[in-house]
Amino acid sequence: MQTEAMVMRATGGPEVLERAHIELPEPGPREVRVRVRAVALNHIDIWARRGLPHFRYEFPHRLGADVAGEVEALGPGASGVKVGDKVVINPGLSCGVCERCLLGQDNFCRRYKILGENTQGGYSRHINVPDANCLPYPGDLPFTSAAAVPLCFLTAWQMVVRKARVAAGQTVLVQAAGSGVSSAAIQIAKMLGARVITTTSTAAKAERARELGADEVIDYTHQDFVAECKRLTDKRGVDVVIEHVGGDVFAKSILAAAWGGRIVTCGATTGFSPEIDLRHVFFRQIEILGSTMGPKGDLHGVLRLVAAGKLHPVVDRVMPLWQAADAHRLLEERKAFGKVVLEVD
């Protein structure tokens, strides 16, 4: 069938995104065709659009990891959903049969992919996905809010819960409050009973961070977050740092951590090569933990918490899919707090 999409035929700036008609095959065995109603942006869209050496594209390529919509057709043997169901799509794809997948560690699968990265994504009116990736819809949320959940909340859940092991009474520093992952991490850490310190760059973003539950907000444009973290913890430092900025921020996060503290990183939006003094790592016994996405099963629990009103997707603004290039510019210029979501007419 033919459907309409925003595609890229080469890597580059936002201008490479163009509206086009594409051919979408009928869903294959255990696949589902979803009518996309909303797709949220992530920084992975930016990296994939610009191009990195390990990305493999089949042009025209479609970005978009976070999708919410309705089941339109079922392939042979597809189960778990029926035509007409509203669904949220888990953006992580894995083989489903290797040891890691069978252990519930599918994000360690050697064939793991993320929608829109090394495979076609959701910047289109329709998408085919495995039936295992169709998750129950969280209550009566609008599609534009539901689409803001999957990647950032799954990523934040693994970082805060599985990797950092955050517990009540601990102090957690969440870098860059305005990002999708950070806005989710603030909420999850608060739900677990932690004290949350976060960083941001404007008074408006600071207010939004407090509304999410942040106890203290540091304006990194004129405050040293290391000194502030020491001051706010009686010189002890924070128990956990949730980090995805990279560069100097990552290096300074080590200094902000307490002895035996844990730093969990899932990205490097400002630089891949921080200069680190390893003496602060081994002498103070700092744990540095990498994190990418999370097991498929975790997103079921996250969506139940969203449906129950205990976690809330944060949407900065909604734009038409056909304005994807402008949405990318907003994300690159750090003008959004939370998610920019594309609505698909």
In the chain, what are the domains?
A: 2-149+313-343 (3.90.180.10), 153-290 (3.90.180.10)
Whether residue 274 has a cis bond before it, omega within 30° of 0: no
Residue 87 has a pLDDT of: 98
- Indicate the pairing of strand 195-200 with strand 216-219: parallel
pLDDT surpasses 90 at 83: yes
Mean pLDDT of 313-319: 97
Residue 51 has a pLDDT of: 93
Distance CA 104, CA 28 (A): 24
Mean pLDDT of 337-345: 96
When pLDDT is cut at 50, 70 and 90, the band that residue 120 belongs to is very high
pLDDT surpasses 90 at 163: yes
Residue 55 has a pLDDT of: 82
Residue 204 CB contacts under 8 Å (≥ 6 apart), including other chains: 337
Residue 91 CB contacts under 8 Å (≥ 6 apart), including other chains: 65, 66, 67, 114, 115, 116, 133, 150, 151, 154, 293
Mean pLDDT of 20-26: 97
**Which pair of tokens denotes residue 90?**
């888990």
pLDDT surpasses 90 at 269: no
Share of the chain above pLDDT 70, in %: 100
Mean pLDDT of 69-86: 97
Closest C-alpha to 182, from 164, 201, 163, 199 = 199
- Scan for tokens 């990205």, then name that residue: 267
Mean pLDDT of 307-317: 97
**Which pair of tokens denotes residue 260?**
């035996």
- pLDDT, averaged across the chain: 96
List residues bridging with 130 in a β-sheet: 31
Q: Is 75:52 a contact under the CB 8 Å cutoff? A: no
Residue 31 has a pLDDT of: 98
pLDDT surpasses 90 at 291: yes
DSSP 8-state assignment for residue 216: E
Residue 56 has a pLDDT of: 82
Any idea of the CA torsion for 148, 150, 151, 154, to the nearest 10 degrees? 130
pLDDT surpasses 90 at 226: yes
Q: Is 244:47 a contact under the CB 8 Å cutoff? A: no
pLDDT surpasses 90 at 271: no
When pLDDT is cut at 50, 70 and 90, the band that residue 166 belongs to is very high
List residues bridging with 172 in a β-sheet: 196, 240
Mean pLDDT of 273-288: 95
Residue 158 has a pLDDT of: 98
Distance CA 173, CA 243 (A): 8
When pLDDT is cut at 50, 70 and 90, the band that residue 334 belongs to is confident
Mean pLDDT of 238-247: 96
Q: Please tell me the least confidently modeled range out of 69-73, 192-196, 262-266, 334-338.
A: 334-338
When pLDDT is cut at 50, 70 and 90, the band that residue 109 belongs to is very high
When pLDDT is cut at 50, 70 and 90, the band that residue 54 belongs to is confident
Closest C-alpha to 199, from 170, 241, 233 = 241
158: Cα separation from own chain's centroid: 11
